[in-house]
Amino acid sequence: MSAIKVENISKSFGKTKALDGVSFEVARGELFGLIGPDGAGKSTLFRLLTTLLNPDFGRAEVDGFDIVKEYRDIRKRVGYMPGRFSLYQDLTVEENLNFFAALFGVKVEDTYDLVAPIYRQIEPFKTRKAGKLSGGMKQKLALSCALIHRPSVLFLDEPTTGVDAVSRSEFWDMLSDLKQKGITILVSTPYMDEASRCDRIALCNEGRILSINTPKDIVSGFNSHSQNSSPNPVPTTLYAISAENMYQLLLSSRKCKGVVECYPFGEMHHLVVDETFDIECFKKELTDMKGLRIEPINPTIEDMFIKLMKQ
Amino acid sequence: MKNNFLSFVKKESLHILRDVRTMMIVLLIPVVLMILFGFAISTEVNNLDVAVVAPNRTESVRQTVDRLSRNPYFTLIDYIDNNDIDKVLRSGKANVVVLFDEDYDKLLAQRSEGIDTKPAVQFIFDASNTNLAQTGAIYLQNAIATEHSQQEMLNMHLLYNPQMKSAYNFVPGIMGLIFILICAMMTSISIVREKEVGTMEVLLVSPVRPIKIILAKMIPYFVISCINLVTILLIARYLLYIPLDGVWGGVIVMSIVYLLLSLALGLFISTVSSSQVVALLVSAMVLLLPMMMLSGMLFPLENLPMILKPLPNIVPARWYIDAIRKLMIMGLPLSAVMKELIILVIMAFVLMGISLKNFKDKLE
């Protein structure tokens, strides 16, 4: 039995379609990531699965319980960390933890083995008000509170948004540890670079899921001929290019033969090409570009995401 | 489970205790209002400036004027000429001019023999301040009447509040106001704050029924309101000298019912408002304004136009203030306000029922 099972679920707010026929399954003990930009419908999906909202169409199960009919059972066994920091800022770290323990009718000592690795890091500040903690510490406290009742499924809505890079990496280490303890984790993030830390990811955009796979397979799908859902699959290769005049480079390279796509990507531009592309011809066409550099690179999840979005 | 209810109450109390400024305001508002209305804002008439016109200053006229001048309610300006009446009133030197008839002594004598005569004394009031003129007229009438034989003037008795002290009128009003303010406004804001900050989402995704959390929220505010009740009653008794002997029980029972009703009202407001600002506005517009206008606290309800007459009946404060007046000022027992008590209990139950039904354990 899968821990989370979503079947063709849709949810609208007025005229806005937040979710449009989404289906996926998460196996027990899996760390599953929802990757997508703001407005992709990730938070709505979390609210549906944590039984805060009812779907318009479709159905879903969490831990074997229906999210509409058996929502009380679900509320007993899931941990939820909403996108916003949702603890009491005027209570201390310790008071927050004790309150959430009371909320779930457990004693802090009973779950301490599970919470300890995380809570120990913020324990020196236990008399500090939660509102005065740094972003990273806030997340650790929120995670501790979400774990206090030994949930079987953990829902983390953008837990690393607004957290520094070091804390983000630490946070993902914690999630890996929790996964080892058999907790199913559904986590969302707008940061594509975090996707590789998940077992499987779903790329979503505008209320739809574009692709579900392991991070590795999603990336390798970039060059494959059998790209799903595309009517005319194009085998593509990826290059990173740069020149002194980056903007002119972007415009000119888009006109070259065999170029499918060229988009800014950090300090470089990424160049997507099909099999008619010839690197020597390309260099010749852009001889007037000063300092032109071109090298083949491995696609990232973000490249895949951009490719899927265009289709 | 009882154990975790207590931790909810503790958490809620911590929220209140941590917000020292709000807590001080909540605890000090009653004291400030009581003192303000009891002393500073007073509709009693003190030091009414009196000018006297007496063409014939006989012994009895002088005696009457002398007595007026010694009365703490009046300040004698001077004897003035008949032609200066208008000038004195216009300039504001006097609030009232007392005119003694030229034949004052003769008229009094005729009266005491039972002969119907024209009035011996006339008051000319500056009625630009109606309250001052009306109350002053009664005072003056009483003061002069004692001088004369009883049958001469209308026989008037003011029961329960013979000195017409305004504190007697305002204390029940302030009680009605403060409890709604603290219970309804504060609870609704604290519930809506959880929605606004997002903690409500986490609370809902837990095995605890939301109603338990809500009830735990009400308890600290109930306790604060009880502290306020005690403060108000003590100020009323020992600072404003309202005789409360023998009516404590009735006032407390009535107030507790009203407190519970206000808490239910707060819960109801929280179910219809999505943000703290909305909750505040709803509390102010839907509670405070009608309460001030339609509870009989500021304006007599008898003055309402016919079409609006039934309206005050749905304002809880109206029944509460009515009942507290009967208990506190008239000194009646609780059995005399059964009607008000029953109406408030029914209102509390209905409101509680509606808001519990209205309270969603989902986001929409």
Tens-digit pLDDT profile for residues B2-13: 567 888 999 999
Least confident of A62-71, B120-129, B135-144, B149-158: B149-158
- Kindly state whether B19 is in contact with chain A, defined as any CB-CB distance less than 8 angstroms: yes
Q: Do A86 and B199 touch (CB under 8 A)?
A: yes
Least confident of A215-229, A291-305, B132-146: A215-229
Residue B275: half-sphere exposure toward Cβ, Cα within 13 Å: 2
Residue B147 reports pLDDT greater than 60: no
| A66-99 confidence digits (pLDDT tens) | 999 999 999 999 999 998 888 999 999 999 999 9
Dist CA B185 CA B57 (whole Å): 63
Q: Do B14 and A52 touch (CB under 8 A)?
A: no
Residue A227 reports pLDDT greater than 90: no
Q: Which residues lie below 8 Å from residue B76, measured CB to CB, with a gap of 6+?
A: B50, B51, B52, B65, B68, B69
DSSP structural state of residue A92: B
- Kindly state whether A84 is in contact with chain B, defined as any CB-CB distance less than 8 angstroms: yes
* Strands of the A65-66 sheet, one edge to the other: A16-26, A4-13, A57-62, A65-66
Q: Do A91 and B364 touch (CB under 8 A)?
A: no
Dist CA B191 CA B185 (whole Å): 10
Q: Residues 227-256, chain A: which have Cβ within 8 Å of B?
A: none
Cβ contacts of B205 on chain A, cutoff 8 Å: 50-52, 75, 78, 80
Say what the pTM is.
0.79
> Sorting pLDDT into bands at 50, 70 and 90, what band is B148?
low
In a domain, B72, yes or no: yes
Dist CA A96 CA A83 (whole Å): 18
In a domain, B276, yes or no: yes
Q: Which residues lie below 8 Å from residue B134, measured CB to CB, with a gap of 6+?
A: none
Q: Residues 94-113, chain A: which have Cβ within 8 Å of B?
A: 95, 98-100, 102-105
Cβ contacts of A78 on chain B, cutoff 8 Å: 205
Beta bridge partners of A156: A81, A187
Is residue B216 domain-shared with residue B121, that is, in the same domain?
A: no
> Sorting pLDDT into bands at 50, 70 and 90, what band is B134?
confident
Is residue B188 domain-shared with residue B287, that is, in the same domain?
A: yes
Is residue B128 domain-shared with residue B201, that is, in the same domain?
A: no
Give the helix, strand, coil percentages of chain B, each rounded to 5: 70, 5, 25
Residue A105 reports pLDDT greater than 70: yes
Q: Which residue of A has its CA nearest to B210?
A: A103
Q: Do A75 and B206 touch (CB under 8 A)?
A: yes
Query: Which of A50, A99, A104 lies nearest to residue B11, judging by beta carbons?
Result: A99
- Across the range B151-172, mean pLDDT stands at 66
Is residue B192 domain-shared with residue B340, that is, in the same domain?
A: yes
- Domain interval for residue B78: 48-152
> Sorting pLDDT into bands at 50, 70 and 90, what band is A224?
low
How long a stretch of residues is chain B? 364
| B238-256 confidence digits (pLDDT tens) | 888 887 877 888 999 999 9
- Kindly state whether A75 is in contact with chain B, defined as any CB-CB distance less than 8 angstroms: yes
> Sorting pLDDT into bands at 50, 70 and 90, what band is B164?
low
Q: Do B14 and A95 touch (CB under 8 A)?
A: yes
Residue B247, phi then psi, degrees to nearest 5: -115, 0
CATH number at residue B72: 3.40.1710.10
Q: Do A90 and B201 touch (CB under 8 A)?
A: no
Cβ contacts of A85 on chain B, cutoff 8 Å: 198
In a domain, B363, yes or no: no
| B39-68 confidence digits (pLDDT tens) | 766 666 777 889 999 888 888 888 888 888
To the nearest whole Å, the CA of B284 is away from the closest chain A CA by 26
Cβ contacts of B196 on chain A, cutoff 8 Å: none
Is residue B37 domain-shared with residue B117, that is, in the same domain?
A: no
Q: Give me the pLDDT at residue A233, please.
A: 53
- Across the range A120-133, mean pLDDT stands at 93
> What are the structural domains of chain A?
4-218 (3.40.50.300), 224-310 (3.30.70.2070)
Phi/psi class of residue A9: alpha, beta or left (left: φ > 0; alpha: ψ in -120 to 50)? Answer: beta
Domain boundary among B118, B152, B186: B152
Is residue B111 domain-shared with residue B184, that is, in the same domain?
A: no
Q: Which residue of B has its CA nearest to A73?
A: B207
- Kindly state whether A88 is in contact with chain B, defined as any CB-CB distance less than 8 angstroms: yes
Q: Give me the pLDDT at residue B156, please.
A: 61
Is residue B189 domain-shared with residue B308, that is, in the same domain?
A: yes
Is residue A48 within 8 A of residue A55, CB to CB? The reply is: yes
Residue where the block lists tokens 């609780």 = B334
Please choose, from the candidates B157, B193, B165, the residue with its C-alpha nearest in 3D space to the C-alpha of residue B266. Answer: B193
Give the helix, strand, coil percentages of chain A, each rounded to 5: 35, 25, 35
> Sorting pLDDT into bands at 50, 70 and 90, what band is B155?
low
- Kindly state whether A154 is in contact with chain B, defined as any CB-CB distance less than 8 angstroms: no
To the nearest whole Å, the CA of B17 is away from the closest chain A CA by 10
Domain boundary among B115, B131, B152: B152
Share of chain A above pLDDT 90, in %: 60
Q: Give me the pLDDT at residue B151, please.
A: 44
Least confident of A48-52, A225-229, B43-47: A225-229
| B123-133 confidence digits (pLDDT tens) | 888 888 777 88
- Kindly state whether B23 is in contact with chain A, defined as any CB-CB distance less than 8 angstroms: no
Residue B72 reports pLDDT greater than 90: no
Q: Give me the pLDDT at residue B242, please.
A: 82
- Kindly state whether A125 is in contact with chain B, defined as any CB-CB distance less than 8 angstroms: no
Q: Do A90 and B14 touch (CB under 8 A)?
A: yes
CA distances from B303 to A214, B4, B101, B285, B295 (A): 78, 52, 37, 22, 12
Greatest mean pLDDT among A173-177, B68-72, B233-237 lies in: A173-177
CA distances from B91 to A272, A287, B45, B50, B96 (A): 95, 100, 19, 13, 12
Dist CA B299 CA B318 (whole Å): 11
> Sorting pLDDT into bands at 50, 70 and 90, what band is A229?
very low
Is residue B172 domain-shared with residue B37, that is, in the same domain?
A: yes
Share of chain B above pLDDT 70, in %: 91
Is residue B218 within 8 A of residue B260, CB to CB? The reply is: no
Q: Give me the pLDDT at residue B90, please.
A: 86
- Across the range B74-88, mean pLDDT stands at 87
Instruction: Report the largest interatomic distance among the alpha carbons of chain A, rounded to a whole angstrom.
Output: 72
Is residue B225 domain-shared with residue B139, that is, in the same domain?
A: no
Residue B19, phi then psi, degrees to nearest 5: -90, 75
Cβ contacts of B4 on chain A, cutoff 8 Å: 102-103, 105
Q: What angle do CA B358, B363, B364 make, to 5 degrees?
A: 65
Return the amino acid letter for B233: L
Domain boundary among B91, B121, B152: B152
Is residue B211 domain-shared with residue B320, that is, in the same domain?
A: yes
In a domain, B364, yes or no: no
Count interface pairs A-B at CB distance under 8 A: 75
In a domain, B78, yes or no: yes
Q: Do B199 and A76 touch (CB under 8 A)?
A: no
Is residue B341 within 8 A of residue B257, CB to CB? The reply is: yes
Cβ contacts of B203 on chain A, cutoff 8 Å: 103
ipTM for the complex shown: 0.85
**Environment class of A255 (CB within 10 Å of its CB; exposed 0-12, middle 13-18, buried 19+):** exposed
> Sorting pLDDT into bands at 50, 70 and 90, what band is A7?
very high
- Kindly state whether A76 is in contact with chain B, defined as any CB-CB distance less than 8 angstroms: yes
In a domain, B159, yes or no: no
**Environment class of B254 (CB within 10 Å of its CB; exposed 0-12, middle 13-18, buried 19+):** buried
Beta bridge partners of B167: none
Q: Of B205, B213, B362, which to mutate for an interface test with A (greatest number of A Cβ within 10 Å)?
A: B205
Cβ contacts of B14 on chain A, cutoff 8 Å: 90-91, 95
In a domain, B158, yes or no: no
For residue A282 the two structure tokens come to 């390309």
* Strands of the A268-273 sheet, one edge to the other: A259-265, A268-273, A237-242, A293-296
Is residue B129 within 8 A of residue B92, CB to CB? The reply is: no
In a domain, B22, yes or no: yes
Q: Give me the pLDDT at residue B349, please.
A: 94
Is residue B205 domain-shared with residue B144, that is, in the same domain?
A: no
Q: Where are the beta strands (DSSP E) in chain B?
A: 48-53, 74-79, 96-100, 121-125
Is residue A119 within 8 A of residue A170, CB to CB? The reply is: no
Dist CA B208 CA B215 (whole Å): 12
- Across the range A269-274, mean pLDDT stands at 90
How many helical (H) and strand (E) elements, i.e. helices and strands, does chain A have?
Answer: 10, 14
The chain-wide mean pLDDT, for chain A, equals 89
Return the amino acid letter for B359: F
Residue B343 reports pLDDT greater than 70: yes
Cβ contacts of A88 on chain B, cutoff 8 Å: 11, 15, 199
For residue A23 the two structure tokens come to 């289906």
Please choose, from the candidates A207, A195, A186, A149, the residue with its C-alpha nearest in 3D space to the C-alpha of residue A168. Answer: A195
- Kindly state whether B197 is in contact with chain A, defined as any CB-CB distance less than 8 angstroms: yes
Residue A288 reports pLDDT greater than 80: yes
Residue where the block lists tokens 């106001």 = B177
Please choose, from the candidates A170, A197, A192, A147, the residue with its C-alpha nearest in 3D space to the C-alpha of residue A31. Answer: A197
For chain B, how many structural domains are there in total? 2
Q: Of B13, B23, B200, B202, which to mutate for an interface test with A (greatest number of A Cβ within 10 Å)?
A: B202
For residue B301 the two structure tokens come to 């309800």
Is residue B179 domain-shared with residue B311, that is, in the same domain?
A: yes
